[in-house]
Amino acid sequence: MVPGNQTQFTEFILLRFSEKPDEQGPLFGLFLGMYLVTVIGNLLIMLAIASDSHLHTPMYFFLSNSSFVDICVISTTVPRMLVSILTQNKVIPYADCLAQMCFFMVFAGLDNFLLTAMAYDRFVAICHPLRNAAIMSPQLCGLLVLLSWITSFLDSLLHSLMVTRLSFCTDHEIQHFFCDLAEVLKLSCSDTLINYVLIYFITGLLGVLPLIGILFSYTQICSSIFKVPSAQGKYKAFSTCGSHLSVVSLFYGTGFGVYLSSSATHSSWKSTVASAMYAVVTPMLNPFIYTLRNKDIKDALRRLISRIASSQ
């Protein structure tokens, strides 16, 4: 691409969910409510884990990081959309669009890797309980999180740099509420074959392989649980995995649903709604899943709220 071509292009237009004036108020209220619930819910989980020494274990260390990432995921998309609704300005500068796309891919990738790390932690805790403390050391947990950050950042940086080599001609309207990589590529008048090859290759490598790892971990976990003689022991082992399994199903179900169906459907509205499920609804539901199905988190939250109430 010739550098001069890029300087002629300065902005995209995000078309959001609806252009009807009477629907902007309800949309603003809906997404503001979901954003606040997500941020407050995940912050409470992080504070509960940090303030309770009983929760200073690998499982809750990964959960705390996952809650932080959920806040970051929704913060890359919803605040700008809320400002856009308030100001009735649908324009997003080219540089801001690239930054939003880049950060969204970083945090979505982090979610993926953290779910895999949590599955490995459950595998070690249930299948190798006597060696759990030695294997899942603080050093290993920190290393897994660091590698997750580095891999996600490099993956996002590669895709973002590949977008900068593209030219964008007359169509600047993104049929979406944020700058999603697939939607941006649709507007390019350059050859995007290499971009799509990278998307499918890296999705297979960094998306499917961790999922296979999670499925393998739970295959081994189920095999170990079925060997437990008592029904109470089986229930206790399954209960420690229930929340994580629910979040894995929600994350991969909505994620693969968005990106596998985007090529099969011609409805931009359906694609936008599916992406909202993945980028907004999933981070909002995760705190509810972990608190409703996890007694330790509920007890820690009660103690945290009691301390806050007694200090006032």
Q: Which of 157, 156, 159, 163 is nearest to 6 (CA)?
A: 163
With cut-offs at 50, 70 and 90, classify the pLDDT of residue 101. very high
pTM for this one? 0.89
| Count of C-beta atoms within a 10 Å radius of residue 137 | 12
Cβ neighbours of residue 264 under 8 Å, at least 6 residues apart? none
What phi-psi label fits residue 88: left (phi over 0), alpha (psi between -120 and 50 degrees) or beta? left
Question: Is the pLDDT assigned to residue 106 strictly greater than 50?
Answer: yes
Question: Is the pLDDT assigned to residue 259 strictly greater than 80?
Answer: no
Q: Which of 56, 46, 60 is nearest to 240 (CA)?
A: 60
Cβ neighbours of residue 278 under 8 Å, at least 6 residues apart? 254, 255, 257, 258
More confident residue, 143 or 236: 143
CB 114 within 8 A of CB 148: yes
Q: Strand pairing partners for 275? A: none
Residue-level pLDDT at 49: 92
Question: Is the pLDDT assigned to residue 33 strictly greater than 80?
Answer: yes
Give the whole-angstrom CA distance, residue 260 versus residue 118. Answer: 25
Per DSSP (E only), the strands in the chain are: 11-14, 91-93, 173-174
Residue-level pLDDT at 6: 45
What is the per-residue pLDDT across 223-240, written as a single tens digit (0 to 9) for each?
Answer: 888 877 777 767 776 777
Could you tell me the domains of the chain? Answer: 9-311 (1.20.1070.10)
Residue-level pLDDT at 7: 42
With cut-offs at 50, 70 and 90, classify the pLDDT of residue 4. very low
- Rg, C-alpha atoms of the chain: 21
CB 82 within 8 A of CB 31: yes
Q: Which of 134, 166, 178, 148 is nearest to 271 (CA)?
A: 178
The CA dihedral of 227, 230, 236, 241, to the nearest 10 degrees, is 20
| DSSP H or E segment with residue 116 | helix 94-127
Give the whole-angstrom CA distance, residue 32 versus residue 43. Answer: 16
What is the per-residue pLDDT across 108-138, written as a single tens digit (0 to 9) for each?
Answer: 999 999 999 999 999 998 888 888 889 999 9
CB 211 within 8 A of CB 113: no
CB 114 within 8 A of CB 69: yes
Give the whole-angstrom CA distance, residue 33 versus residue 29. Answer: 6
Cβ neighbours of residue 105 under 8 Å, at least 6 residues apart? 152, 155, 156, 159, 160, 181
Give the whole-angstrom CA distance, residue 140 versus residue 231. Answer: 33
What is the per-residue pLDDT across 42-51, written as a single tens digit (0 to 9) for each?
Answer: 999 999 999 8
CB 141 within 8 A of CB 238: no
- The share of the chain scoring above pLDDT 90, in percent, equals 42
* For the chain, counts of helices (H) and of strands (E): 14, 3
What is the per-residue pLDDT across 34-75, written as a single tens digit (0 to 9) for each?
Answer: 999 999 999 999 999 998 888 899 999 999 999 999 999 999
